[in-house]
Structure 1
Amino acid sequence: MTTSTPVSTPFSRETTALEVVRDLDLTGRRAVVTGGASGIGVETARALAAAGADVTLAVRNPEAGQRAAAEITGTTGNDRILVAPLDLADLGSVASFVRTWDGPLHMLVNNAGIMASPEMRTEQGWEMQFATNHLGHFALATGLYRSLAAAEGARIVSVSSAAHLRSPVVFSDIHFRQRPYDPWQAYGQSKTANVLFAVDATRRWADDGIFTNALMPGAIRTNLQRYISEEELDRMRTQSGGGAAYWKTPEQGAATSVLVAASPLVAGVGGRYFEDCQEAGPNQPGTRTGYAPYARDPEAAERLWQVSEEHLRA
């Protein structure tokens, strides 16, 4: 069962991923990091590798993954860095990854994603951000369930965003077939789905030793913003009230993911939402921090799980 006491840590917004694992020994533990070739994904993988974990970079571009793996080995001395192809928008690719995985899996970091993209759809006609950010990771996690259970204490990291405050999951029109497409609304509901997944995955799997938490990594300049203009980024920074200092480094942005994936401070905790290496509370009006109540609504979480299973059976 999950504990009810809020998680507090000695870490902060400025903490780096390597600082989180400084005193940890992850030797013998296996991790998968989606989108592990760049951005906060590669820094998450680097920190886990530095602590001794066997890390698989699950990436769309295996060549970029191999370059990242070599660089991680060079900086950490850990040569147990593998690369596997994974396209989260392609359920066949997800199924292939699942089939090739063998043995226990201790840490699954669902990090990859796309943000505020132009309207795109999968071959099934699904809106691309929801399909990639949620459905692909849902298929991956459920497909790897037996391996996660075999780890006897596995953790799933669901990388969300403060953008989840923009929209709940609109069950009546998830794929923007009736309403006009809006890139930020689409991104927002996909990030809400990431939090709801953590809630229901923990409800379903905690008794199997699998705990899932969601998080907001912070604002970090990475390839994730490739669809966003500099003007829009400046406006977002101004709205956040942080000025130029609002941006974290990728090493700082990966810290909360690594905390949730590996720190003993989060052992036995699931269904929560973290920011800046601390468990976050509910959002307060006029702020962009904390979680929206709809994102941790257990009924919405269960409904999303059922809807997601229906998608995968379609």
Structure 2
Amino acid sequence: MTVHANKAVVTGGTGGIGLETAVGLATQGWDVTVVARDRERGDAAVARIDAAAGRDAGRFIGADLSSLAETRNVGRRLASEGVLHLLVNNVGGMWVTRWESAEGIEASVALNHLSPYVLSEELLGALAAGAGSRIVNITSAAINAAQPVFDGIEPPGPHYGMAATGRAKLAHLAHTMDLAERMKPRGVSVFAADPGAAATDNAAQMTIDILPPPLRPHWGMIRKGVSAPVSTAAKAPLTAATDPGLEGSTGLVIGPAGEPDDRLLGFVTPQVADAVRTWTANLLAAHAG
């Protein structure tokens, strides 16, 4: 009798924390599909995943997840393949210079909130079909820098990358808690994982201009923080994805130490949660497909 491995999808899984998470899952016996843009990086990621697992455990699917249309398409493709046991929404980022997706959405909003929202929705049926399945959404302490105003796509005032990403991560954390409640009756656990700072390729591109002026005196401390090994930062998502002690739990934030940590949930007030629901629905309606 053939025993089939549990199936996982990791977005942004060709480098950084996403790749380390994918490798960690493969060494625990998972089959892992990584979704990202670059085929060359994807092939290298699959080679590393397979080597770590000692078998053919990895697969790459190319998609630009800043595009909601491409995100929907890849979600539908994955859903058509049947049961899924784990989705790790790792895709995201923080940029010094403001940029927009092909659909005209500011990138922090597109990649840190709307894309994982859309992909999760497409895969809920496949996840519900997998007993004890989980969704893990990567969150960030950048929420501390967020301006919690959700009247427009972007908050008023100048664009600062850390604040923009923090706001998008705050929106997605609020959504994560909503999704946890919605999926509880269907047997899907939903967690947020805060990996902490790490020496990712994205972090290497940061300059002091990414910070709102009041935070710039802390630049040296922030730069020191993002020197931590990426492999260490995978502890939070791997714990959220696989720790048997979390079975039956949902709606938790797993912190960098691999333990539940509710500090970021303090920013998800009822007012913020309500505003995010309306704001997200309006954005998705404007970019339906």
TM range (shorter): 0.7 to 0.9
Q: CA RMSD in A?
A: 2.5
Question: Is the 8 Å Cα contact of residues 200 and 298 (structure 1) preserved in structure 2?
Answer: no
Aligned residue identity for 1:274: I
Which structure would you say has the larger RCO, counting Cα contacts within 8 Å and 6 or more residues apart? 1
Distance in 2, Cα, partners of 1:228 & 1:245 = 12
Distance in 2, Cα, partners of 1:99 & 1:85 = 14
Q: CA deviation at 1:229?
A: 2.5
Distance in 1, Cα, partners of 2:187 & 2:133 = 6
Aligned residue identity for 1:265: G
Distance in 2, Cα, partners of 1:148 & 1:168 = 33
Which moved further from structure 2: 141-150 or 92-101? 92-101
Map of 1:310 onto structure 2: 282
Distance in 1, Cα, partners of 2:26 & 2:55 = 6
Distance in 2, Cα, partners of 1:262 & 1:298 = 30
Question: CA offsets per residue over residues 172-221 of structure 1, 9 Å max, x none?
Answer: 13324x43222222111012123112200011111111111112101111
Distance in 2, Cα, partners of 1:226 & 1:117 = 11
Q: CA deviation at 1:78?
A: 2.8
Question: CA offsets per residue over residues 40-98 of structure 1, 9 Å max, x none?
Answer: 11110001000111100111112211111012211221312111112221012112211
Question: Is the 8 Å Cα contact of residues 108 and 157 (structure 1) preserved in structure 2?
Answer: yes
Distance in 2, Cα, partners of 1:244 & 1:189 = 23
Question: Is the 8 Å Cα contact of residues 200 and 305 (structure 1) preserved in structure 2?
Answer: no
Alignment of 1:285-296 (within 5 A): 290-295=263-268
Map of 1:105 onto structure 2: 84
In the alignment, structure 1 residue 38 sits paired with structure 2 residue 19: no
Distance in 2, Cα, partners of 1:230 & 1:185 = 13
Q: CA deviation at 1:126?
A: 1.9
Map of 1:160 onto structure 2: 139
Map of 1:278 onto structure 2: 259
Change in 2 beyond 3 A, CA 1:218/1:224:
same
Give TM-score, length-normalised by structure 1: 0.80
Aligned residue identity for 1:197: H
SS in 1 for 2:193: strand
Question: Is the 8 Å Cα contact of residues 169 and 190 (structure 1) preserved in structure 2?
Answer: no
- State the percentage of identical aligned residues: 30
Change in 2 beyond 3 A, CA 1:292/1:100:
closer
Aligned residue identity for 1:67: A
Aligned residue identity for 2:264: Y
Aligned residue among 151, 156, 163 for 1:185: 163
In the alignment, structure 1 residue 252 sits paired with structure 2 residue 229: no
Q: CA deviation at 1:99?
A: 2.1
Structure 1 stretches of 5 or more lacking a match?
Answer: 1-25, 282-289
Change in 2 beyond 3 A, CA 1:166/1:313:
same
Question: CA offsets per residue over residues 127-161 of structure 1, 9 Å max, x none?
Answer: 11111111001000011111111112211111111
Distance in 1, Cα, partners of 2:209 & 2:159 = 21
Q: CA deviation at 1:117?
A: 3.4
Equivalenced residue count is 277
Question: Is the 8 Å Cα contact of residues 168 and 192 (structure 1) preserved in structure 2?
Answer: no
Aligned residue identity for 1:311: L
Question: Is the 8 Å Cα contact of residues 118 and 227 (structure 1) preserved in structure 2?
Answer: no
